[in-house]
Amino acid sequence: MAKIGVFICHCGENIAARIDCARLLSAMDDHPGVSVSLDYKYFCSDPGQENVKKAIRENNLTGIVVAACSPRMHEATFRKACAEAGLNPYLCEIANIREQCSWVHSDREKATEKAIDITRSLIEKVKRNNELQPIEVPVTRKALVIGGGIAGIQAALDIANAGQEVVLVEREPSLGGHMAQLSETFPTLDCSQCIMTPRMVEAAQHPKIELLTYSEIEQVDGFIGNFTVKIRKKARYVDMKTCTGCGDCIQKCPQKKISDEFDCNLGKRPAIYTPFAQAVPNIPVIDKENCTYFKNGKCRVCAKACPIDCINFEMQDEFVDIEVGAIVVATGFQIQNTAMYGEYGYGKYPDVITGLQFERLASASGPTAGKIMRPSDGKEPETVVFIQCAGSRDPSKGVKYCSKICCMYTSKHAMLYAHKVHGGKAHVFYMDIRAAGKGYDEFTRRAIEEDEASYLRGRVSKVWQENGKLMVRGVDTLLGKPVEIAADMVVLATAITPQPDAKEFAKVIGIGCDEYGFYNEAHLKLRPVETATAGIYLAGACQSPKDIPDSVAQASACASKVIGLFSRDRLEREPVIAMNNEATCSGCWGCFVACPYGAIEKKDILNRSGELIKRVAFVNPGLCQGCGTCVTFCRSNSIDLAGFTEKQIFAEVMGL
């Protein structure tokens, strides 16, 4: 038999002024199943809550309805009071007679009738409430950080410095990402390598960080606190345990004509190589595609050159499974191929290069040792034209969004060029200068005012070659005139786009992405580092184009989320989750298709001899977020949602 307590709060005059609480009280007294009904000035106050607790104890109540303010205000308060009085907190319902009744209606008679209806229907609901227990999920205190650029390194270091274990996975042979390719960094012009390499070394040597370079994520299963991740450690053909990084093999490799990806194809490298001199770990890999031995079965020069015999051509990819509690995705970006701008001549004229190629030219460790030279003939360019938004903010050919960093790095390029090539002239075509950030606008002003870069507001329509020069035709919209510049080099500020495999990878780890492939945060403003999948966080340019300070800040924010998650042994979650009646389930998988969280699993029902009888839906309580979408799809009413069961809603509606 239900023994329901009804508690009618006056909320001072807030409710009592518009609702006849005495009439409401007597109506509830008469309602079947109500053992006790009380009214009070403020039930949310300490003495008010004591009254509730006393009534629960004295009457052995099986459920309570508090007719008061919105459940969004005090549901937690009264649930706690229930728990303290020994009643399961989920046997409490709140009738919202303030925000949705007394405050919005002026007719006392009708407001009172409405309050009676609302309270009654919730009495009918609470009679069908079940005792629920918070779901406890154990937490594996180890984090996986995917991507070894600056964002990934920062997140890994912050988590590790808080004393938690981290596995840092990078698919390239070395840590570093794009930041390692840069020459100097805006707005301070400190050398990228100088600030980056100590972090790389720190990450590699950290006792709490397990570093897996040249490795990729194959599969992610599980849920917050309990992910299982399969990682492919690609064969390096060099034994990491014994290699000392002496580099003899690299020196001796006869194949030296391979285009160097790290140098953006401006330089050459051998088939056994480290991407750059400061690589971490400083252990070479063999590029199987280009290695003479792998191609022809003959060579093995590197193996002969190795003084300690650590080259192993038989090495195979290895797979490891790791258990982690949280995942930070910091997979970075790529720059857009500018092939769609045929009029700029990228790929046709060797001296039309991308911004990233310019970084390599300007870098002291780059293919030209920091000298600005034309790729075509090695001459120092006397005039350089920089074209901004070469892909960004161009809905017709490129991408709609602003790539955010190009205004700043173009200013930096103009500056570096002025510093390195005295007397050189830099022209910059821009749409707008977007230099919001600490010290940013001052930086672009410096490029214009001190380093005398000429900024032209307008677009470039065509680049062509004439008498050994690159002719650039554009427009200066401020003067309202067409402009033609004879340049020696053209640098395109290409758009920042997601990694080429970003969309497929989103599916592997189970997060969402936008139309371009940038990963979706749970809420753009209020939950910018979390994804919709609990326990998976985003750092750096994989979420949207970002500069180094923003990437680092977001990485640290991720780390604080992970550390917060790891501060407990077990997670407690609201038990409002779906559950399935396996007896009536037909396995049509409507729920499976509809679930936004992939929380529905297929479960085999076997007979005693282990033969499959049927396959039914099973709700993974770790993944289910309790939206109830599956319930509505279930034609046979097999799936139900705790806290909002079919029985409860039916009773609530029928109680109206």
Partner 1 sequence: MSIQEQYRKKAAELLSSGEVKLVIGYGAGTTPDRRRPLFVRSADETSKLHLDAACEANLSGYLVTEGLLADRKKVGIFLGPEGIRSVNILASESQLDPDQIVIMGFNREAESVSALEGSNVRDFPAMLAALKEQAPGAGEQALVERIENMTPEERFTFWQAEFEKCIKCYACRQVCPMCYCRRCIVDNNQPQWVQTSSHTLGNFEWNLVRAFHLSGRCVECGGCDRACPVNIPLRLINRRMAMEVLDAYDHFSGMSPDQETVLASFKKDDPETFIL
Partner 2 sequence: MNEQFEPKIVAFVCTYCTYAGADLAGTSRLKYPPNVRIVRLPCTGRISPMFILKALQKGADGVLVSGCHPGDCHFTSGNFHARRRWTVFRALLNFTGIPLDRIRFSWISAAEGVKFAELISSLTDDIRKLGPFEQYKAMIHETETPVSL
Select from 84, 576, 581, 582 the one that contacts partner 2 (CB under 8 A).
576
Tell the residue number behind the tokens 């239900």, with chain if given: 2
Choose the one of partner 1, partner 2, none that binds residue 136, judging by a C-beta under 5 to 8 angstroms depending on kind.
Answer: none
| Bridge-based pairing state of the strands 285-286 and 272-273 | antiparallel
Does 625 bind partner 2 (CB under 8 A)? Our answer is yes
Asked if 160 and 206 count as a contact pair (C-beta separation under 8 A), the reply is: yes
Does 2 bind partner 1 (CB under 8 A)? Our answer is no
Select from 42, 349, 516, 589 the one that contacts partner 1 (CB under 8 A).
589
Of 120 and 236, the one with the shorter C-beta distance to partner 1 is 120
Asked if 119 and 63 count as a contact pair (C-beta separation under 8 A), the reply is: no
Choose the one of partner 1, partner 2, none that binds residue 110, judging by a C-beta under 5 to 8 angstroms depending on kind.
Answer: partner 2
Does 584 bind partner 1 (CB under 8 A)? Our answer is yes
User: Three-class SS of residue 79?
Assistant: helix
Of 1 and 656, the one with the shorter C-beta distance to partner 2 is 656
Q: How far is the C-alpha of 199 from the C-alpha of 176, rounded, in Å?
A: 9
Of 9 and 167, the one with the shorter C-beta distance to partner 2 is 9
Asked if 599 and 623 count as a contact pair (C-beta separation under 8 A), the reply is: yes
User: How far apart are CB 102 and partner 2 at their closest, in Å?
Assistant: 8
Of 319 and 650, the one with the shorter C-beta distance to partner 1 is 650
| E-state strands within 51-150 | 63-68, 92-96, 135-138, 142-146
User: How far apart are CB 590 and partner 1 at their closest, in Å?
Assistant: 5
User: Closest Cα partner for 434 from 459, 404, 394?
Assistant: 404
Of 104 and 308, the one with the shorter C-beta distance to partner 2 is 104
Measured CA to CA in angstroms, residue 171 lies from 26, 148, 179, 279, 522 at distances of: 71, 8, 15, 13, 26
User: How far apart are CB 207 and partner 2 at their closest, in Å?
Assistant: 39
User: Closest Cα partner for 418 from 342, 362, 500?
Assistant: 362
User: How far apart are CB 72 and partner 2 at their closest, in Å?
Assistant: 6
Tell the residue number behind the tokens 């033609």, with chain if given: 484
For residue 439, give both structure tokens.
């010290």
Select from 588, 603, 643, 655 the one that contacts partner 1 (CB under 8 A).
588
Of 143 and 513, the one with the shorter C-beta distance to partner 2 is 513
User: How far apart are CB 517 and partner 1 at their closest, in Å?
Assistant: 16
Q: How many residues bind partner 2 (CB under 8 A)?
A: 43
Select from 121, 164, 185, 392 the one that contacts partner 2 (CB under 8 A).
121
Asked if 331 and 542 count as a contact pair (C-beta separation under 8 A), the reply is: yes
Of 203 and 651, the one with the shorter C-beta distance to partner 1 is 651
Question: 429's torsion region: left (phi>0), alpha (psi -120 to 50) or beta?
Answer: beta
Of residues 595 through 654, those in contact with partner 1 by CB under 8 A are 612, 615, 633, 635-638, 646-647, 650-651
Measured CA to CA in angstroms, residue 445 lies from 408, 453, 631 at distances of: 11, 10, 60
Of residues 235 through 274, those in contact with partner 2 by CB under 8 A are none
Instruction: Render 462-509 in DSSP notation, one character per residue.
Output: EEEEETTEEEEEEEETTTTEEEEEEESEEEEEEPEEE-TTHHHHHHHH
Does 632 bind partner 2 (CB under 8 A)? Our answer is yes
Of 103 and 294, the one with the shorter C-beta distance to partner 2 is 103
Tell the residue number behind the tokens 């192993």, with chain if given: 312
User: Three-class SS of residue 149?
Assistant: coil
Residue 281: is the preceding peptide bond cis (ω within 30°)? yes
Of 371 and 615, the one with the shorter C-beta distance to partner 1 is 615
**Could you tell me which stretch among 246-254, 382-390, 498-506, 589-597 binds partner 2 (CB under 8 A)?**
589-597
User: Closest Cα partner for 74 from 54, 55, 97?
Assistant: 97
Select from 49, 96, 213, 357 the one that contacts partner 2 (CB under 8 A).
96
For residue 90, give both structure tokens.
């989920």
Amino acid identity of residue 41, one-letter, is: K
User: How far apart are CB 591 and partner 1 at their closest, in Å?
Assistant: 8
Q: How far is the C-alpha of 585 from the C-alpha of 578, rounded, in Å?
A: 14
Binding mask 209-228 for partner 2 (x = CB under 8 A): --------------------
User: How far apart are CB 97 and partner 2 at their closest, in Å?
Assistant: 10
Does 400 bind partner 2 (CB under 8 A)? Our answer is no
Of residues 44 through 73, those in contact with partner 2 by CB under 8 A are 70-72
Choose the one of partner 2, partner 1, none that binds residue 612, judging by a C-beta under 5 to 8 angstroms depending on kind.
Answer: partner 1
Asked if 227 and 137 count as a contact pair (C-beta separation under 8 A), the reply is: no
Residues 6+ apart with CB under 8 A from 219: 229, 230, 508
Choose the one of partner 2, partner 1, none that binds residue 626, judging by a C-beta under 5 to 8 angstroms depending on kind.
Answer: partner 2
Q: How far is the C-alpha of 606 from the C-alpha of 614, rounded, in Å?
A: 7
For residue 350, give both structure tokens.
């060797």
Amino acid identity of residue 288, one-letter, is: K
**Residue 87 CA neighbour count, 13 Å, CB half:** 31
Select from 29, 58, 107, 452 the one that contacts partner 2 (CB under 8 A).
107
Binding mask 460-499 for partner 1 (x = CB under 8 A): ----------------------------------------
Select from 3, 41, 80, 100 the one that contacts partner 2 (CB under 8 A).
100
Asked if 356 and 264 count as a contact pair (C-beta separation under 8 A), the reply is: yes
Please give the residue ranges that form the binding site for partner 1 (CB under 8 A). Answer: 583-591, 593-594, 612, 615, 633, 635-638, 646-647, 650-651
Please give the residue ranges that form the binding site for partner 2 (CB under 8 A). Answer: 70-72, 96, 98-101, 103-107, 110-111, 113-114, 117-118, 121, 512, 532, 576, 594, 596-597, 625-629, 631-633, 641, 643-644, 649-650, 652-654, 656
